[in-house]
Structures are given as structure tokens and as C-alpha cells.
């Protein structure tokens, strides 16, 4: 979220999420529907003074985790 009164933003890190590990995504992708499909998942961020971590959640369970590498 960004407010209009905020200054410029800068990209600190990048995160790629592999949804193919999620059972419902893999099942729908295998069926090859021409109309597309919907997969519900959650992304979480864990912040502390030393690092930023991203978490992929599906049905309340953790399916992936990454520690962000900051861009220079």
C-alpha cells in the first residue's frame, strides 16, 4: 500500500513465488483448462532488525519460505 503523500519508493529486494508446489495449483495446471483457474494462497512477511523473510501459506500450512537478499 502506498499513500499519495509519501515520497518516492525504492525496490529493496525481489521475491519469486513458485505456486506449482501448491496441490490445487498443480492439479488445475495439469488439467489445462482454457478458461483459467483460481488458487487461493497467502503471502506473509516476517520482519526483524536483521532480515526480512517471506512465507507462502496454503490452507493455514507453510509451503515455502525465503530469506530476502537485499538489492544494492
pLDDT of residue 61: 92
Q: How far is CA 27 from the centre of its chain?
A: 19
pLDDT in tens, 21-69: 898 888 888 887 778 888 899 999 888 877 888 899 999 999 988 888 7
Given this model, what pLDDT does residue 3 score?
64
State which H helix or E strand residue 23 sits in.
helix 23-31
What is the domain partition of the chain in residue ranges? Answer: 19-67
Q: How many angstroms separate the CA atoms of 38 and 69, rounded?
A: 30
Q: pLDDT value at position 21?
A: 86
Task: Inform me whether the pLDDT recorded for 2 exceeds 60.
Answer: no
Task: Give the cell for residue 23.
Answer: 496441490
The Cα 24–Cα 38 span in angstroms is 9
Amino acid at each position: 500500500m502506498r499513500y499519495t503523500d509519501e515520497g518516492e519508493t525504492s525496490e529493496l529486494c525481489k521475491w519469486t513465488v513458485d505456486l506449482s508446489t501448491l496441490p490445487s495449483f498443480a492439479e488445475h495446471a495439469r488439467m489445462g483448462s482454457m478458461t483459467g483457474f483460481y488458487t487461493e494462497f497467502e503471502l506473509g512477511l516476517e520482519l526483524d532488525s536483521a532480515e526480512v523473510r517471506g512465507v507462502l501459506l496454503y490452507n493455514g500450512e507453510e509451503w515455502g519460505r525465503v530469506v530476502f537478499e537485499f538489492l544494492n
